[in-house]
Amino acid sequence: MTTLTLGGGPRQLTVTVSTVGARLCQITDPRGHEWLVDDGRPEPTSDMPIPFDQGTRGGWDDCFPSIDAEADPRGDRMIADHGDFWFRPWAVSAVNAMSTTMRTTGIPHPLRAEKTVRLHQDASIVEIDYVLTNTSDVPYRFLFSGHPLFRWTDDAVLKIPRGGRVTPAFGLPGRVGAWPRLDGRDISRIPSERGPMMKKFFVEWDGSVTLSFRSGHSLTLRQSTDITPWLGVCINAASWPAHDPGSHWIALEATTSPHDSLAQALQSGTAFVLDPSERVVWTTSAEFH
């Protein structure tokens, strides 16, 4: 496992990226605020599938072709918990003081992934470019979800300028609402909580969300395309994993589908499809204030 540190200038973020899963391990803003959960757990040392709670349980990785562990739609293999790529080593193909590009190599999978993490010279912005390619000779259907676990330090507010339908996933009443309300409650406000508590919902968005804390820290997450028309919001207060809880975090998960399960995405018609040799490219940016 290798970690690469980018940036660190007086007006820059400092970002650490691991070659395991191309995971962002650390984002430190110019004021010294640490944004990502870090429980001090070691990176996986094998490319064999493991449950997600046996990994680092922190940082910013990505889940694909599913979040749930389940059978691949082709029926010849199982998809690992939280996807097939977060625990595997990626190869560094380019690196300098402000960016790095990593890609999957030697993984027997229809999808090939490339990820570039890039900082701006005079701004607290990190951009992540994604390229996914179907290397097989038949169409491949999958789900993709970003998976950043941001430290939940005090009372928080979510602002989604043009939010739409809200769909509960777990820990909330099973009714569909309209942002910012679900079952009569304003779910845009996230008061600090000792827990244990965990809940998740999906909201239709236009590619922009701001998470603000009472302390004055805030971040804005943006998407460059409509590849991910849904935002998953998962909130954990010392509830997960059940056998060893402790961290408090808010995950802002730009995703292709309002489901954690690829099987459910297929059933609802929200799975993403790549034809043979087709690729999809998009950018996620996070600005820290």
What is the residue type of 98? Answer: M
| Stated length of the chain | 289
Q: How confident is the model at residue 2 (pLDDT cuts 50, 70, 90)?
A: low
Tokens 């562990």, residue located:
69
User: Is the distance from CB of 230 to CB of 258 less than 8 angstroms?
Assistant: yes
Tally of structural domains, the chain: 1
Tokens 């999978």, residue located:
109
- Whole-model pTM: value is 0.96
Q: How far apart are CA 283 and CA 276, in angstroms?
A: 22
Read off the DSSP letter of residue 144: -
* Exposure letters 170-195 (e unless 16+ CB within 10 A, then b): eebeeeebebbebeeeebbebeeeeb
Range of 220's domain? 3-288
Question: Which CATH number does the domain housing residue 144 bear?
Answer: 2.70.98.10
Say yes or no to pLDDT of 129 above 90: yes
Among the ranges given (5-19, 26-40, 163-177), the one the predictor scored with the smallest mean pLDDT: 5-19
Q: How far apart are CA 221 and CA 60, in angstroms?
A: 13
pLDDT tens sequence across 131-184: 999 999 999 999 999 999 999 999 999 999 999 999 999 999 888 999 999 999
Say yes or no to pLDDT of 242 above 80: yes
Q: How far is residue 3 from each of residues 100, 168, 242, 261, 280, measured CA to CA in Å?
A: 11, 36, 29, 31, 27
Q: How far apart are CA 110 and CA 107, in angstroms?
A: 9
What is the residue type of 217? Answer: H
Q: What is the pLDDT of residue 76?
A: 77
- With the C-alpha atoms ordered 15, 18, 22, 24, is the resulting torsion angle positive or negative? negative
Q: What is the mean pLDDT of residues 88-97?
A: 95
User: Is the distance from CB of 155 to CB of 211 less than 8 angstroms?
Assistant: no
Beta bridge partners of 148: 60
